[in-house]
């Protein structure tokens, strides 16, 4: 769940410029969140 919130937070500047719809998270942001989560859990 924490990764979901992180994705939303990092995507919010992008989402502010888009029409209301469902979009996929850019791969760069998704990887950044995954790396940060791995580091936080000590598995990086």
| pLDDT beyond 70 at 1 | no
Q: Could you tell me which residues come within 8 angstroms of residue 14 by beta carbon, excluding any fewer than 6 positions away?
A: 26
What is the model's pLDDT at position 6?
Answer: 84
Alpha helices per DSSP H over 1-44: 2-15, 27-41
> What token pair was written down for 24?
């996929």
pLDDT above 70 for 29: yes
Statement: residue 17 has pLDDT above 70: yes
Q: Tell me the pLDDT band of 2, cut-offs 50, 70 and 90.
A: confident
Which residues fall within 8 angstroms of residue 13, CB to CB, at 6 or more apart? Answer: none
For residue 44, pLDDT over 80 is answered with: no
């Amino acid at each position: 769940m924490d990764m979901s919130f992180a994705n939303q937070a990092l995507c919010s500047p992008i989402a502010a410029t888009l029409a209301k719809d469902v979009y996929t998270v850019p791969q760069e942001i998704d990887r950044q969140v995954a790396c940060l989560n791995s580091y936080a859990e000590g598995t990086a």
